[in-house]
């Protein structure tokens, strides 16, 4: 079992690895908007979305590969890795070819009917989507290679690759724009970067696991167990990202592509806060997979402590985002964006208070029950589609944000309940770890922020009050909510 010290270290490395591209995005998006224009930037955001969505369209096999590799490592069966890894790699290439065909066939419909792309841009947009479709085999194959490295808890090496790759998603469009490239040229640069990322992960796999150097090994018998675990993850991997991106497609269909930009700007700010829960979830999944159901007490401690850490970390960040939403957008993107997107940012930020529930998803999958979250996603999709359509049509982009937050609230309730049932987690387990004390202290900080907001104080005064409130929150959390073991873990002390 990975020690608490290792998990804390890896989570911190992941945070840095995701935070650097976030900073790059923060400074790159404004000039990209000005240089490309609202409509072309809207198409570029859809391009990012397609790359992100189809990288998860692997029928759950990359996640299954990570789980099985982690289990083998826990048993010391490293010599059994080559057939599993290379079989999964080949299957991913085949799936990538299928995804390529699907996107190619859908491109005319997406450009001409589904999205309100200006007529002058449709030919260019078709070329972009065809380029994207040709790159999908590489995108999918890289996911399984990264998953193998994750199973070995080598997140230091992963981030040596992921940091420049993540930054390139924003720097390459910026460079292409200044060099006079069209959107097709910019997208080609992005695809070349993804190819380089896949090659880098392949080299890491060979270096970390020497048994993979013994040559190619394909075992068709492994396809069935991979699909058996991944079959329900297939639904999660298709429907889950769809729930995240559907609002932007509907905004583009119901309102306009320009409205997608006004919605995407605050959404990108908010979704980047996911670097904190994601950094932890990425290391917890192989840890939960290694533990399985054999160490219930250890699993519960790891789960409840992780939940507490995210409550204490995400709460102040999100509350600060809500309080200073208008100021942040005005300084970042200008007065027009602040007027049109402030409410969207505040609504989406409120939904981000629920991100600690992502620990529950990692636990459910790590214990081998991906069917649970898949069923939840199907229920949420059925409810979400009419709600986001109705609210976006009545309230515009603010309505779409409200629908997204409502869906996040429902998902939180479902996954926390399910994780409690599957692992017999009791109310007392949360109380013993101080989770509820953390929520109460966070609620007190929220009251301070709310009083500051309704008082209509100057921004500088609000900042001073918020800083004092957060410092008090940190003091109380460190001394009265975190226990000795927590403080050892968070200070990278050695855990016995």
| pLDDT at res. 4 | 58
Shortest CA distance to 453 belongs to which of 321, 349, 307, 292?
321
Q: Does the pLDDT at position 460 exceed 90?
A: no
3-state helix, strand, coil in the chain (%, to 5): 90, 0, 10
Average pLDDT over residues 317-323: 88
Average pLDDT over residues 14-33: 82
| pLDDT at res. 85 | 87
Question: Which whole-number Å values give the CA distances from 336 to 270, 331, 457, in the listed order?
Answer: 19, 11, 22
Q: Which are the contacts of 450, defined by CB distance < 8 A and separation ≥ 6? A: none
Percent of the chain with pLDDT over 90: 5
Average pLDDT over residues 394-412: 88
Distance CA 427, CA 420 (A): 9
Distance CA 331, CA 297 (A): 48
Shortest CA distance to 288 belongs to which of 114, 36, 63?
63
| pLDDT at res. 468 | 92
pTM: 0.67
| pLDDT at res. 235 | 76
Q: Does the pLDDT at position 102 exceed 80?
A: yes
Question: Which whole-number Å values give the CA distances from 308 to 339, 426, 428, in the listed order?
Answer: 35, 15, 14
pLDDT band per the 50, 70, 90 thresholds, residue 200: very high
Percent of the chain with pLDDT over 70: 92
Q: Does the pLDDT at position 124 exceed 50?
A: yes
What's the pLDDT tens digit per position in 409-450?
Answer: 998 899 888 888 888 888 888 888 888 888 899 999 989 888
Mean pLDDT estimate for the chain = 82
């Amino acid at each position: 079992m990975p020690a608490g010290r290792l998990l804390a270290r890896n989570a911190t490395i992941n945070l840095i690895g995701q935070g650097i591209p976030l900073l790059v995005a923060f400074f790159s998006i404004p000039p990209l908007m000005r240089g490309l224009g609202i409509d072309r930037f809207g198409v570029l955001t859809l391009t990012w979305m397609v790359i992100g969505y189809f990288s998860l369209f692997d029928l759950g096999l990359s996640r299954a590969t990570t789980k099985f590799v982690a289990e083998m490592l826990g048993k010391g069966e490293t010599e059994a890795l080559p057939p599993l890894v290379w079989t999964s790699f080949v299957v991913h290439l085949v799936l990538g070819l299928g995804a390529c065909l699907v996107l190619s066939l859908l491109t005319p419909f997406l450009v001409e009917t589904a999205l309100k792309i200006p007529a002058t841009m449709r030919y260019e947009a078709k070329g972009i989507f065809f380029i994207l479709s040709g790159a999908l085999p590489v995108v999918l194959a890289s996911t399984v290679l990264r998953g193998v490295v994750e199973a070995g808890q080598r997140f230091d090496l992963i981030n040596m690759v992921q940091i420049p790759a993540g930054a390139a998603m924003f720097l390459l469009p910026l460079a292409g724009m200044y060099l006079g490239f069209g959107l097709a040229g910019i997208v080609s640069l992005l695809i070349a970067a993804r190819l380089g990322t896949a090659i880098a992960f392949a080299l890491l796999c060979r270096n970390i696991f020497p048994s993979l150097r013994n040559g190619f090994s394909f075992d068709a018998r492994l396809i069935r167990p991979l699909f058996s675990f991944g079959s329900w993850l297939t639904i999660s991997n298709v429907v889950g990202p769809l729930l995240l991106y559907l609002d932007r497609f509907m905004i583009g269909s119901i309102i306009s592509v320009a409205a997608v930009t006004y919605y995407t700007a605050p959404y990108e700010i908010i979704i980047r806060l996911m670097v904190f829960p994601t950094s932890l979830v990425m290391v917890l999944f192989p840890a939960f997979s290694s533990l399985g159901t054999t160490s219930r007490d250890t699993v519960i401690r790891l789960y409840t402590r992780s939940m507490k850490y995210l409550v204490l970390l995400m709460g102040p960040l999100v509350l600060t985002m809500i309080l200073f939403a208008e100021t942040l957008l005005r300084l970042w993107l200008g007065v027009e964006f602040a007027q049109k997107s402030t409410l969207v940012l505040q609504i989406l930020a409120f939904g981000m208070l629920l991100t600690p529930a992502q620990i529950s998803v990692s636990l459910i999958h790590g214990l081998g029950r991906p069917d649970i979250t898949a069923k939840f996603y199907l229920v949420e999709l059925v409810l979400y589609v009419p709600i986001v359509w109705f609210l976006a049509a009545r309230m515009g982009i603010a309505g779409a944000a409200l629908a997204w937050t409502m869906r996040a609230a429902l998902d939180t309730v479902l996954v926390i309940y399910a994780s409690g049932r599957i692992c017999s987690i009791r109310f007392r387990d949360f109380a013993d770890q101080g989770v509820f004390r953390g929520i109460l202290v966070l609620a007190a900080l929220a009251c301070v922020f709310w009083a500051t907001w309704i008082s209509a104080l100057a921004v500088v005064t609000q900042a001073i009050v918020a800083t004092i409130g957060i410092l008090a929150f940190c003091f109380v959390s460190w001394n009265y909510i975190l226990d000795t073991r927590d403080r050892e873990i968070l200070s990278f002390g050695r855990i016995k």
